Structure 1
């Protein structure tokens, strides 16, 4: 004997209230993802013109901030999982955009740095990137953008450390 099917609530506010969590649209992770998507929408066409993905750009940009990185440091700096980073590094290496070597003291540990070709790509793509940044700054305002970046840094610092458990 089958029971009567339960109807699904049509009003998402009612559903959220029933399970006592904030509405999906007010979720901090979703708000951050929507903002990231809005920003990245402006950069993607430029990255495609240069034949690189968002993740490859992230790796190349990180590599410009130091002489060389251990692979684990690079994964942490770019928020990429090791398997994804491994594929990205393989592609960037094949394209001559990075240089890879192993530490003489420990052959299991790899070092990665940006190649001259990678720097040239960053210079060309970076010029376009700065144009996009100027457009975003013009729309949003330089003070508001600086404030947003400061608030995001403060949020990150505040939440850095032990996980919050409910």
Structure 2
């Protein structure tokens, strides 16, 4: 019983203000970091809304870390890049204007490289095209600035937290 009351209260709060925070023509730039055993992944994305619900853009992720081998220390570097498309659920779900909830697909390519004092090479560890899904949410503190949380999307860590700028 307590859980259903809490759910009703949350849904009421989320649907109080039905005006759209984002709309056709909006541009979003995301900067974030992830958690990973492969270093600290850095995330950048840009998205342009072509309708009130559909946005297209690009994403780029990078991380590197050092690994100690038997004879040498190695440095791994990973770069993920892709084209992404998102559906923004705000109007469909009548969400509060401070929230942006979205999901979509990313088509991209990721490259791994390995280096030490003696070599720099592309490895067979990765270097491949990918298609993957992502889900995310933004909470707008004001009309231009929001917190971001995104899972998937070819992100090296699988989960990215950061900020989004709307312009």
TM over 0.5: no
TM-score range, shorter chain: under 0.3
| Higher relative strand content | 2
More helix by share: 1
**What TM-score, normalized by structure 1, do the two folds share?**
0.25
Bigger CA radius of gyration: 1
TM-score in terms of structure 2 length = 0.24
Higher RCO (Cα < 8 Å, 6 or more apart): 2
